């Protein structure tokens, strides 16, 4: 009997010591298994990324997760759609639209009714995702889910980039009653990073189209685009605005400018920086070799690589004309699908790819050829007459 009582007393002492050391069996089991006293949300355990430090000025909203340390408890709470958070055994408080610093004070005031304030701590666990509307000249129109700390350039790339006829000089970020105008082309081409704004919840993105009848069209191999017309812009400006610097360089040989109601003209790439055009102009970039053909009274008949800066006199000089044998003032150019002879000024009139330049003989050469022909003809006639007289005797 005494041994039974002693055993019972020993068992009670062990149970009391166990509860004093571990609190309760559930706590002991959690510690053995490596678990906390309160289950944490999966969102708070997911690694997060950030471009910059999130400070106390961060504005909280639905979808943000907060980690709470309440003495020996760790909780993860989410801000509900109505902007409130609920803390077990403490109640709820509204923190939506408030900065993180303001929300910290409100939550600590709430939990201090049950826990010692000096042993409580609040921190951000995961930032909210939100939706942004995109309209206008973009690849994917509609609502899109945006990760926290997403910049405008990243968002536009994610929705399929601007369309070919987009006016990327005036991308509009509508934020509440304000509208932020962003020159997306200058930002991406010239590296104006200060214009790459960070998107916020509730933002709306609008990319306008280039107005019809007031643009300049650029044609590249396999690609066609247009840019809004401005009188002061040069061809180099249109080239940059079209995003051609980010395209594959095929090794352009020349540029053809087709202005309304004017004949096409050809320029070099170097001339693009000083050349302006009219509205509705087409600018085509050529990568294939272009030729001009030369024939007549020159030493080297054949084809020559097209040079937009050359006139007929340059090609004729390359062909080795001799002023005794060739005539400058009678040069003709054969042009078009059904070639027709066009008289030109050899030193001022433009030459186009595919032209055939004909250099006729000089009057001296023509007279000499005629004299030789007549001499040959008289020789044949006299020979025939002698033969005839001889055989008729």
Q: What is the pLDDT of residues 105-152, one digit of tens each?
A: 999 999 998 899 889 999 888 888 889 999 999 989 999 998 888 899
Percent of the chain past pLDDT 90, that is, above it, reads 17
* Topology match between the domains 215-286 and 291-361: no
Higher pLDDT, 324 or 265: 265
Contact between 77 and 85 under an 8 Å Cβ cutoff? The reply is: yes
CATH value of 130-207 in 3.10.560.10, 3.30.70.1230, 3.40.720.10, 3.30.1600.10: 3.10.560.10
Domain boundaries 215-286, corresponding CATH code: 3.10.20.90
pTM: 0.54
CATH homologous superfamily of 291-361: Outer membrane lipoprotein wza domain like (3.10.560.10)
pLDDT of residue 203: 92
Domain boundaries 42-126, corresponding CATH code: 3.30.1950.10
Structure tokens at 304: 């020559």
Whole-number Å distance between alpha carbons of 335 and 377: 37
pLDDT of residue 366: 60
Mean pLDDT of 293-299: 81
> Cα 134 from chain centroid?
17
Average pLDDT, whole number, for the chain?
79
Q: Measured between alpha carbons, how far is residue 106 from residues 41, 98, 124 in Å?
A: 21, 10, 14
Mean pLDDT of 238-266: 80
Q: What is the pLDDT of residues 140-199, one digit of tens each?
A: 999 999 888 889 999 999 998 888 778 888 999 999 899 999 998 888 877 888 889 989
Structure tokens at 98: 């408030």
pLDDT of residue 31: 31
**Domain ranges within the chain, ordered by starting residue:** 2-33, 42-126, 130-207, 215-286, 291-361, 362-393
Q: What is the pLDDT of residues 307-317, one digit of tens each?
A: 877 888 888 88
| 19 pLDDT tier (thresholds 50, 70, 90) | very low
């Amino acid at each position: 009997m005494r041994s039974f009582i002693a055993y019972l007393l020993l068992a009670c002492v062990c149970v009391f010591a166990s509860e004093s050391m571990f609190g309760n069996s559930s706590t002991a089991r959690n510690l053995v298994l490596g678990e906390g006293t309160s289950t944490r949300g999966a969102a708070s355990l997911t690694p997060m990324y950030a471009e910059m430090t999130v400070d106390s000025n961060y504005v909280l909203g639905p979808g943000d997760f907060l980690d709470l340390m309440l003495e020996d408890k760790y909780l993860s709470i989410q801000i509900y759609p109505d902007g409130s958070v609920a803390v077990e055994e403490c109640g709820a408080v509204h923190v939506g639209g408030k900065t993180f610093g303001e929300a910290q004070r409100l939550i600590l005031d709430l939990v201090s009714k049950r826990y010692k304030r000096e042993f409580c701590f609040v921190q951000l666990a995961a930032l909210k995702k939100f939706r942004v509307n995109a309209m206008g000249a973009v690849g994917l129109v509609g609502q899109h889910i945006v990760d926290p700390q997403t910049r405008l350039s990243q968002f536009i790339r994610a929705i399929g980039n601007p369309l070919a006829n987009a006016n990327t000089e005036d991308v509009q970020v509508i934020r509440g009653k304000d509208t932020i105008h962003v020159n997306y082309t200058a930002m991406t081409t010239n590296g104006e990073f200060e214009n790459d704004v960070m998107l916020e919840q509730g933002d709306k993105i609008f990319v306008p189209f280039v107005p019809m009848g007031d643009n300049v069209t650029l044609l590249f191999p396999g690609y066609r685009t247009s840019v809004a017309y401005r009188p002061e812009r040069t061809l180099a400006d249109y080239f940059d605005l079209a995003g051609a610097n980010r395209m594959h360089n095929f090794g352009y040989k020349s540029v053809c400018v087709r202005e309304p109601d004017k004949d096409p003209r050809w320029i070099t790439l170097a001339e693009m920086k000083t050349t302006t055009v009219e509205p509705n102009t087409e600018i085509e970039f050529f990568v294939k070799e272009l030729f001009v053909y030369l024939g007549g009274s020159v030493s080297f008949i054949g084809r020559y690589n097209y040079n937009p800066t050359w006139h007929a006199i340059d090609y004729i000089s390359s062909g080795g004309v001799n002023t005794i044998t060739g005539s400058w003032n009678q040069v003709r150019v054969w042009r078009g699908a059904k070639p027709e002879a066009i008289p030109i000024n050899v030193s001022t009139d433009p030459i186009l790819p595919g032209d055939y330049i004909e250099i006729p003989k000089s009057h001296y050469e023509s007279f000499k050829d005629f004299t030789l022909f007549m001499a040959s003809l008289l020789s044949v006639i006299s020979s025939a007459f002698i033969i005839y007289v001889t055989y008729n005797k």
